[in-house]
Structure 1
């Protein structure tokens, strides 16, 4: 194994989560009697450039040709996209003569706001099914992967982009340096690139091991993102910390010739260094945190099983499938889970084979506990599920530590 950023062979183990299927490979009923392919899920850190990474054991084509994740099913994520678009238009002075490109634009969740603002835009989305949904919503979308070749073709046909948006895609690329060069090709010489990624500081500090799955090939600190961008002549001009996905970075990058780093860049680098993330030893605690959550969650579920109480899940996100497989949770402990995405209804979680139903199933069954798998949406889902308190139901959040939350009488009465 070699680091995909600097090619060093000095990769140190951080946490080994065993073997799991790809997190979005949901099973149909016909597939339940067939074998599943599983792959090692072992996070390592490069001792030389400190990029957190897993081996590229599956290809993006295997994951993203048809994809089960539609961004528009999260109300909080839609609000996040609207707020980002409004702020970016103001900050960068975007108007009718501007051009915005989003890479991995999914179902048009963000660019529909750009269309509404009268700004020319283009989505580049490899998944045919979600790209079709974007075009139906009126968002111009190309169905293909961003490569150096496709970036050159887009620039030749549409021109250079004033803003390139790359939200939650920079971790999904095994050819990190080639993809970074493609971003540089898309952006104008005085343009901007906005990249949102889960911050490795939160991954380690809060034990967020379930954000590790096969379609995430690497995990960034600001320092390692700086090193990656520099390989294509890009520099970090500004950075914001965000609450999304359990704690993310929004990195504003520009061509090196025009990038002037804001004070926030150096301030965050100091925070990362003080947390220990500029040395291999700073990552060692993640394994112990993952083991503690596994033990506590299994103990809770086994206790409820012994007491005859019903526990079901809410959500079927990729992170949930890492959690379920690592902990060995199957339908004997988690009867089923529900999800708002109709694509997943009637299917089963990969590896653990837990059935997925529409959310209305919870109201019909009135279980004692609902295990919230997309724990990062706690505020949104606590509001959506507060009515389970009417029958004494309680919510369970597995990370950063197992917590049981009962909706308050005031929340239930206000419904």
Structure 2
């Protein structure tokens, strides 16, 4: 394996999750008796540029041409996008003459707010089904994968963008340098680029190993993101720390000719990373034992619930959940089924573990004893949605960053020792 940013062959093992199927390859009932391909899921660190990465064993075309993820099914994520657009309008002085482009714009969850504000915009979305949903919502959307050629065509047709947004896509591109050059091509000479991506500081510090899956090809610190963007003449000038997706960073970058000095908060985040050991190879050694500990604790809990005759079901069928289920070896004997708000997934089965996916109403009909939440990063939103399960005495359990039960009376979290365990 060669580093996709600096071409170094010096890569160190950080976390080996075994072999799993692609996390968004949900199975139909007619596929349950068919073979299912799996691929190694092995996180490595480039010793030279410190980019965390996995081998590119699947192509974006395999994953994103028909996609199961619709961003608008998360209320909190749609609100997050609305706040971003309103803040960007004020920060950058955007108006009717401005042009905003989003790469991997999904179902229009973000650009719908630009449309509502009267700002000219365009989404670039590779998934045919998801892009169609965006157009139905009134968001101009080009069905394409962003690369240099696509970016040049869009710039020639629409002009340069004052703001380019790339939320939760910078990890999804195996051709990292080519994609970055595409972002630069879209951008006006005095424009702004905003990227949101999961922060590797939280991956390492909190053991968030389920954020690793085959469509996430790389994982960023601010330092490694700086180096990646510099490959196309883009300079990071500011960083915001966000709570989304278990802890993300919002990178603000500009063409290097107009970038200026970095902000104080960016310098402070870099200091924090360095203090955590992430500017050195040795700082990445603890992730494997942390992942192993989470697996053992979760399996112990589920086995004890089964021994006590408790019924456990899941909530959500996200990509991170499929990494967790496969790594832990959790199947329908321990998790009867899971539910999801996205109708696209109803009647399908999770990849690898083959757990049935139903509509959320199934939980109210069945009244299980325990609901295990797989998209744990949406804890506040989901705890509010499911607080009513306390009416029949059910527990709402989150597996990460540590196994804990949500207090359905006030939304607070209880510590691990408050999980009821049957006597051995």
Mark yes or no: TM-score above 0.5.
yes
- How do residues 275-290 of structure 1 correspond to structure 2 at under 5 angstroms? 275-290=276-291
- How do residues 49-88 of structure 1 correspond to structure 2 at under 5 angstroms? 49-88=49-88
Following superposition, the deviation at residue 267 of structure 1 comes to 1.2
1:139 counterpart residue number: 139
Find runs of 4+ consecutive structure 1 residues off by over 4 angstroms: none
1:383 counterpart residue number: 384
2:253 counterpart residue number: 253
2:421 counterpart residue number: none
Whole-Å Cα distance in 1 between the matches of residues 167 and 135 of structure 2? 19
Superposed CA offset, 1:374-409 (max 9, x none): 000000000000000000000110011111234228
- How do residues 314-333 of structure 1 correspond to structure 2 at under 5 angstroms? 314-333=315-334
Whole-Å Cα distance in 1 between the matches of residues 394 and 153 of structure 2? 54
Does the Cα contact within 8 Å between 2:330 and 2:353 map onto a contact in 1? yes
Whole-Å Cα distance in 1 between the matches of residues 76 and 49 of structure 2? 34
2:408 counterpart residue number: 407
Whole-Å Cα distance in 2 between the matches of residues 230 and 113 of structure 1? 30
Does the Cα contact within 8 Å between 1:393 and 1:406 map onto a contact in 2? no
1:46 counterpart residue number: 46
Whole-Å Cα distance in 2 between the matches of residues 8 and 274 of structure 1? 25
Cα gap change, 1:371/1:221 in structure 2, threshold over 3 Å: closer, same or farther? same
2:237 counterpart residue number: 237
SS at the partner of 1:118? coil
Superposed CA offset, 1:41-71 (max 9, x none): 0000000000000000000000000000000
SS at the partner of 2:401? coil
1:99 counterpart residue number: 99
Matched, 1:367 2:365: no
Following superposition, the deviation at residue 316 of structure 1 comes to 0.1
1:227 counterpart residue number: 227
Following superposition, the deviation at residue 276 of structure 1 comes to 0.3
SS at the partner of 1:179? helix
1:295 counterpart residue number: 296
2:10 counterpart residue number: 10
Whole-Å Cα distance in 2 between the matches of residues 65 and 257 of structure 1? 36
Whole-Å Cα distance in 2 between the matches of residues 276 and 328 of structure 1? 31
List runs of 5+ in structure 1 lacking aligned partners.
none
Whole-Å Cα distance in 2 between the matches of residues 375 and 410 of structure 1? 14
List runs of 5+ in structure 2 lacking aligned partners.
413-424
2:415 counterpart residue number: none
Does the Cα contact within 8 Å between 2:169 and 2:197 map onto a contact in 1? yes
Q: Aligned pair count?
A: 411
Whole-Å Cα distance in 2 between the matches of residues 13 and 61 of structure 1? 27
Whole-Å Cα distance in 1 between the matches of residues 371 and 132 of structure 2? 33
2:152 counterpart residue number: 152
- How do residues 120-131 of structure 1 correspond to structure 2 at under 5 angstroms? 120-131=120-131
Does the Cα contact within 8 Å between 2:380 and 2:411 map onto a contact in 1? no
1:353 counterpart residue number: 354
SS at the partner of 1:107? coil
The TM-score normalised by the length of structure 2 is 0.96
Whole-Å Cα distance in 1 between the matches of residues 39 and 402 of structure 2? 26
Does the Cα contact within 8 Å between 1:245 and 1:376 map onto a contact in 2? yes
SS at the partner of 2:215? coil
Does the Cα contact within 8 Å between 2:384 and 2:411 map onto a contact in 1? no
Whole-Å Cα distance in 1 between the matches of residues 239 and 310 of structure 2? 46
SS at the partner of 2:382? helix
SS at the partner of 1:146? coil
402-411 or 124-133, which moves further after superposition? 402-411
Whole-Å Cα distance in 2 between the matches of residues 396 and 266 of structure 1? 37
Does the Cα contact within 8 Å between 1:160 and 1:187 map onto a contact in 2? yes
Superposed CA offset, 1:253-291 (max 9, x none): 000011122111211111100010001111111111100
